[in-house]
Structure 1
Amino acid sequence: MSVCRPARCLFSKAPASIAKPSPPSRSFHASAARPVRKRKPHYASIKAEDLKLLNQAAETHFPKYDTSETTLLGKRYTPSQLAAIKAAESAIDARDIVTQGQQRTDPFRLPYEDDMSEMDPVTDHAPKLSAADIPGPITFRRANAAERDAAIAQIASENMAKMWPDGVPEGKLGPKEADHLEETIEAAMFQATLDPRSAFYSKNPAVMEAMADPRHSAVLPDLPRLENRMARQARRMANEEQEDPRQKRLLQYMGWNKRKLSQIRVKTLVVHGVTNQTRMGKIRSMYYLTIAGNQDGLLGVGEGKSVEPEEGRKQSIMAAIRNMKPVPRYENRTIYGSLEKKVGATKVQLFSRPPGFGLRVQHLIFEIARAAGLHDLSAKTPRSRNKMNVIKATWEALTSQKLPDEIARGRGKKLVDVRKVYYGGSVH
């Protein structure tokens, strides 16, 4: 082993005055060295001749405030707010907005295009006003019959003028135009009846305008937005409506809201009276059997019995919704193959059918299939046709189907749906 090689390696690290500098060592990454790299600017450089065009575009699209606009802004904003607006706009160069401005694509953008310069009555909330914004004495009283009729006539005329800006059509009208005019008059009169100006009267015109102004409805309880007989009746009925504790417990159990619960299709299929013999005598009650489904693969059956008919029906509805189970559906329209289920002396046979076949079954199975979201099905009930057993057998058959992949997994086979592969899914 030579001693010269370690010596060369040692002398290569020495300063230039002692030894000859060694060639640069090879880098182990593909990117260039930092001194060699050229950093790209974030924005393209602008030439001097293009700067004039940018200045012209900036002055055209984003002009400075003139005296009239400053006066209007001073009426709406305080001097400190106006100074803040001017300072913020002076800090932003209009040319940067022209060169770098672009439409937002983030998920937090507004669902509509708006420059925020005007108040949109649909998407923006109206500013709330207090009683101090109403000039003059804030005194009002309940209107008498004559004042009420005069106010309704005036408000109805104003509404008609808004609906017919060119004037009410005169002369002989066609059937459609006459119906449209009649509907317009009814709508104008109904709005005038609900308007608070028809229920209250004030000598101060500003108070009358504030009654119809929605900006006063939330902060000024002395001037209610709606305060007449019809509104009081609707408010009283809404307050007296009590929430069913059974429904409240069901929503907590299912984790749903009232809107999702209202989408469930519910139908009572069996209703009959039953008698319970006790030492106190015969006690008659009503029996209900109800089905529930979301028409998209969920189905449930529930029973209820009570002396009060409405109570028993509610029990069956809540039990049906609580007992809902998923129903496997082939192509979201029919069952997988043929099914057979026996409950008591009743036997139900269900058969899948091709697209467009429809539901050719008896009325009880028809309602069950429609609640579960099945469209192509046929059925037989060769033995007893007891209604309760037919419904229970159909429900158990639909919810306990054996899927093809489960059968293939149990047999240790691979599943190939030949109906879709070789026939394009056009056959059942």
Structure 2
Amino acid sequence: MSVCRPTRCLFSWLSSIPKPSSSASHPRRPFSSTTVRSGRKRRPHYPSIKAEDLALLNQAAETNYPKYDTSETSLLSKRYTKSQIAAIKAAEAALDPKDIITQGQRRTDPWQLPYEDDLAEVDPVTDHADKLSHRDIKGPKNFRRANEVERDEAIAQIANENLAKLYPSGVPDGKLSPKEQQHLEEAMQAALTQAALDPRAIYTSDNPHAVAALADPRHSVVLPDLPRIENRMARQTRRLSNEEQEDPRERRLLQYMDWDKKELRKIRSKTLVVHGVTNQTRMGKIRSMYYLTIAGNGDGLLGVGEGKSVEPEEGRKQSVMSAIRNMRPIPRYENRTIFGDLEKKFGATRVKLYSRPPGFGLRTQHLIFEMARLAGLQDLSARVPGARNKMNVIKATWEALCNQKLPDEIARGRGKKLVDVRKVYYGGSVH
């Protein structure tokens, strides 16, 4: 008899005894000296603010974010409509200045918006200019190439405008220091260069609005991009589409195949076999990954490639490049099936392929199905009666498809016409 049985009987007997009421029970002695959770004093989630601190917060809020007075409201009524003023007042009433002081934070990034900005003007840093079309140009829109006199006058006028932007208070005159003189000469040279490249100096028109549209970025088809933040991290992480790192294996493959990148992108590949291999050396066991990949264009080209490397991605790339390099043309009858029945033995694996009529489809195992689809075959059936090792099945199928006997070759070998050979070779059943 088990020792646990009397114990279970004892515990079941004790559980049947009615429990005493809570009023008659004595308080149990706790195992820990820590006060129970119900008896602890709850701590506030947020620190309490004292009266003097609150007075300071109110004073700072009133100083930094004062309320609108009567004069400011009258100025706002001249600039905004009644609905806009009502929206501004509602927003001001919803925001508590004390919350802005305690929880708010001033932005320091380059894209910060000033608090006093009413967003009425377009900022060249943070905003895109509105695009305008030819319908926005008033008057005729005829242009002609300017002659030498008109070109010189336009360059002088545009250069003066550029200098006025560089020196809003006027070009400095009198005796200048060498540094100021050098800065002035560089500014004049830059203004003249920009004026010579300006389209208003090359083309002219009788309509001044049409001439002004030549230098207006809003009439540009491609607006300039927003300026980027120039720092070390931005320069390192910035990658343009034409600055992508080129794989040396891909470059050698393109030279070997005499292709361009557009033709290489049409090739589809699929990895069918992946397993780990171990190489025993004097330094110990070195584990690497083996990949078997097929590649094809879906229109009569098929290749098989192998790759092995310690790095998985490196081994996969090796197999893909090898499969593309080993692609061979696959003969197809009516661009949909094979020429007759095929049989190939590779190692202990035997593969039998059968041609089928239109609409039959691909009724094969998954490895042969993927190979037939990449080769562009549509009607095919297959059997693998022997061993079904994946690598041997793929290699046997590839060699069987590549080494088909064409009716033309049989006709030349037998000295007969093509029509007679097709009739005899297919037994009168031509699909």
How high is the TM-score relative to the length of structure 2?
A: 0.49
Rg larger for: 2
